[in-house]
Amino acid sequence: MGAKMFGARVARLEDPRLLTGRGSYTDDFHLPGMLEAAFVRSPHSHAKINGIDTAAAKAHPGVVAVYTVADLPEYLRDMTVPFQVPNPAISQPFQQRLLEDREVCFAGEPIALVVADSRYNAEDAATLVEIDFDILPGASDCKSALDDNAPMCHANSSNNEGAKYTVGYGDVSDAFANAHLTHREEYWIHRGGGFAIENRAVVAEYNELQDMLTIWSATQSPFLVKQNVVDMLGWESDKVRVIAPDVGGGFGPKTIYYVEEALIPLVAKELGHPVKWVEDRRENFLATNMERDQYWDMEIAVDAGGKLLGVRGKMTHDSGAYMPWGIISPYISATTLPGPYILPAYELETRVALTNKVAVTPVRGAGRPQAVFAMERLMDRAADKLGIDRVEIRRRNLIPTEQMPYALGLIFRDGKPMTYDSGDYPKCQVEALRIADYEGFRARQETARAEDRHIGLGIANYVEGTGLGPFEGATVRIQPSGRICIYTGGGDSGQGHWTTLAQVAADKFGVGIEDIDVQKGDTGKIASGVGTFASRIAVNAGSSVHLAATEVREKALKVAAYMLEAAEEDLDIVDGRVVVKGADLSVGLAEIARAVQGMPGFSLPGGVEPGLEATHYFSPSQSCYCNGTAVVEVEVDPETGWVDILKYSMAHDSGTLINPFVVDGQVQGAVAQGVGNALLEWMIYDDNANPVSASFAEYLLPSAPETPNVDVVHIESPSPINPLGVKGAGEGGTIPAPAAIMSAIEDALSPWNVVISGAPITPSMIVEKVRAGS
């Protein structure tokens, strides 16, 4: 194997299994004696519970047990899900109980759990659980929820403010006092959920002989599940093993720890049977966390040349009824706003509102698409008012690459000052415009208008902090067979970790990636881990694999030197064998691995420690910042409001690429979600916070005919803060999409002076704006 694997555009090792139906997702596990669970969930967004009667449910054929709060062990009855990321700005950190028997605060909140011989019977019985509710008014819209006379999200609190904080730097008042031009506007940005095609699922089995509990969960973070199970249920850490098998998409919501992941193991142990719960799509709409509304009341100040002087404003964030991840999403929003621009002064006050809806936690992009939307709209407005081209105003404000690393003046959510580590923002914008044929666009637009067709072009830039700590680890081991195995903690929900981590290791041993196995997402295989979220695996696990593989390589060389009686510097590894350069002398990795297993009575060769393996936990000093530019060309039918994306171009810098093929796929998939956010996806609630669009017939995911092809050009600015130079790539495509698409629609409809201040935009909203403008 001569060809270099790192950086190569190779097909994925994962695919043959998944293409032939041999994947194993959580619902694919069938264990002997397994029972199935269904939940009774609140049908109301807000209600007081007066009583629960499970007698009829318990008597239903096939039912093994029905649990309400009263049926839980005493220590768990009032326990809430551990608060993951506390922050002093949070005043009311409400957390969910395992089951509720006093007050339900969102439609979908679990009240009882039915375990039966089949899901069918469990669902039958769930309908027989009788609950006496007093329906209470619900806090729905997050802005109104902060009004004085709003209904309370939690009946016993006196206001709906969950947190409040201000971020910023520089002298904002001064900036606005000296501005040539200011513009103020309010934005509403809705974001939907992750909506992986596989719903959540949990299978738990308790083995009495080994006193061992095994949990399979469709999670992005098996170690987080384990830690929470241990914390909540009080079990010994080494008696719990959590496995994330094949996971059918994650996109954020599967990062979070949910009550079902505590309850199913609990009842599996109590009942002495494996228990499976598979979330159905309706539950997914009700009870899986999502992102939702943010309102941004923003003001921009620029000088006569369009240079940014300052941005200030207020943001309101809908957090739902609970705050399992505190203020992570709105905090990321707040710190994302300055983006790739030199912004001398910035101030944002954020208020987080509690509403009677399922909790908001990060979804692909995690608060960033909203911030980018606000900032990029402000840039467009400033350009329009000054009569500067929308592209040009951006060019004038981009941070030049000579200023890298660039200290922003803000503190990121990892607690560190935000310093952009590397990047060439001007080049990125130039490249995106090049592949979009921006030069030729105005002529295209003229021609189209002559044919009564309305095309428009929009642009948006973003910077994204990726590769967050604390760490992710990897063990690299050469088995006695000579096969190389990598173990890592984060699960894989489609990212292709097997392939990319194998690519990182392969060159160290001169082997092909097919000689390498990757076992991921299993707390039984490596001591510590975190999870696959926040575009962090390539950076953290990738670097760990690199470090561990390098160490294993060095050890192999050392032992081989001893075995071959040669000097280490004369050795190289080729095709999985250590060779003496220029001589016909070699030893295979398999033999070396066997040699360091040791032989009874003999000392280890070269005095090394046993085992041809090493483990590293890479812990980054700070986030690394990926960036990109999206340029979108659309055609809009002003009469029907139909938007057709004609061309979607994206320049994307996620540092050094391990596999451009895989990164292309990440960008394309992320763009599709951004297109959904801009044009289709909208989780609608009524005035009492009861969900309205709770099915795939009403909540519209982009399908193939509406989704554009994406032309991607990669800029590679290596990150100086990890050994591979990589940055995260999973979310970038989503982040600028709504901003760029709205900008393009406005451009297409400029004859009607259409102004768009929110996302998503629906066809009827477009027609309304066109009619108002004509």
Q: According to CB under 8 A, which one of 1, 7, 8, 25 is a site residue for other proteins?
A: 25
Tokens 């241990």 — which residue? 230
Residues 477-516 binding ligand FES (CB under 6 A) are: 494
- Around 360, how many Cα atoms within 13 Å sit in the side-chain half-sphere? 26
Residue nearer to other proteins on the CB measure, 123 or 297: 123
Q: Bridge-partner residues for 80, per DSSP?
A: 97
From the list other proteins, ligand FES, none, partner contacted by residue 14 (C-beta under 5 to 8 A by kind): other proteins
* Least distance to ligand FES, CB of residue 158, Å: 44
Residue 189 has phi, psi (to 5 degrees) of -125, 120
Contact call for residue 449 and other proteins (CB under 8 A):
no
Contact call for residue 270 and other proteins (CB under 8 A):
no
Contact call for residue 646 and other proteins (CB under 8 A):
no
Q: How far is CA 565 from CA 513, 552, 577, 586, in A?
A: 30, 19, 15, 11
Q: Is 519 left (phi over 0), alpha (psi -120 to 50) or beta?
A: beta
Q: How far apart are CA 754 and CA 91, in angstroms?
A: 40
* Least distance to ligand FES, CB of residue 255, Å: 17
- Around 118, how many Cα atoms within 13 Å sit in the side-chain half-sphere? 5
Q: According to CB under 8 A, which one of 452, 565, 569, 584 is a site residue for other proteins?
A: 452
* Least distance to other proteins, CB of residue 256, Å: 17
Q: How far apart are CA 54 and CA 66, in angstroms?
A: 7
Q: According to CB under 8 A, which one of 232, 267, 670, 742 is a site residue for other proteins?
A: 670
Q: What is the total residue count of the chain?
A: 774
Q: According to CB under 8 A, which one of 3, 304, 567, 704 is a site residue for other proteins?
A: 704
From the list ligand FES, other proteins, none, partner contacted by residue 11 (C-beta under 5 to 8 A by kind): other proteins
Please give the span between the terminal C-alpha atoms of the chain, in angstroms, as a whole number. Answer: 66
Q: According to CB under 6 A, which one of 43, 249, 588, 718 is a site residue for ligand FES?
A: 249
Choices 278-286, 456-464, 517-525, 551-559 (CB under 8 A): range interacting with other proteins: 278-286
Contact call for residue 665 and ligand FES (CB under 6 A):
no
* Least distance to ligand FES, CB of residue 198, Å: 8
Residue nearer to ligand FES on the CB measure, 93 or 249: 249
* Least distance to other proteins, CB of residue 738, Å: 15
* Least distance to other proteins, CB of residue 752, Å: 15
Q: How far is CA 502 from CA 296, 412, 505, 545, in A?
A: 44, 31, 5, 9
Pairing of strands 181-189, 294-302: antiparallel
Q: Bridge-partner residues for 618, per DSSP?
A: 472
Residue nearer to other proteins on the CB measure, 401 or 762: 762
Residues 751-770 binding other proteins (CB under 8 A) are: 762-764, 767-768
Q: According to CB under 8 A, which one of 119, 143, 239, 449 is a site residue for other proteins?
A: 119
Q: According to CB under 8 A, which one of 1, 7, 8, 23 is a site residue for other proteins?
A: 23
**Cis, peptide link before residue 405, omega less than 30° from 0:** yes
**Cis, peptide link before residue 470, omega less than 30° from 0:** yes
Contact call for residue 33 and other proteins (CB under 8 A):
no
* Least distance to other proteins, CB of residue 232, Å: 28
Q: What is the 3-state secondary structure (H, E, C) of 308-362?
A: EEEEEEEEEEEEECCCCCCCHHHHHHHHHCCCCECCCCEEEEEEEEECCCCCECC
SS3 721: coil
Q: According to CB under 8 A, which one of 159, 479, 693, 757 is a site residue for other proteins?
A: 693
Q: According to CB under 6 A, which one of 177, 197, 527, 765 is a site residue for ligand FES?
A: 197
Q: How far apart are CA 511 and CA 246, in angstroms?
A: 26
**Cis, peptide link before residue 760, omega less than 30° from 0:** yes
Contact call for residue 11 and ligand FES (CB under 6 A):
no
**Is the Cβ–Cβ distance between 597 and 480 less than 8 Å?**
yes
* Least distance to other proteins, CB of residue 642, Å: 7
Choices 180-188, 323-331, 488-496, 562-570 (CB under 8 A): range interacting with other proteins: 488-496
Contact call for residue 19 and other proteins (CB under 8 A):
yes
Q: According to CB under 8 A, which one of 18, 89, 563, 564 is a site residue for other proteins?
A: 18
Q: Bridge-partner residues for 644, per DSSP?
A: 635
Contact call for residue 339 and other proteins (CB under 8 A):
no
Residues found near ligand FES in the complex (CB under 6 A): 197, 249, 494
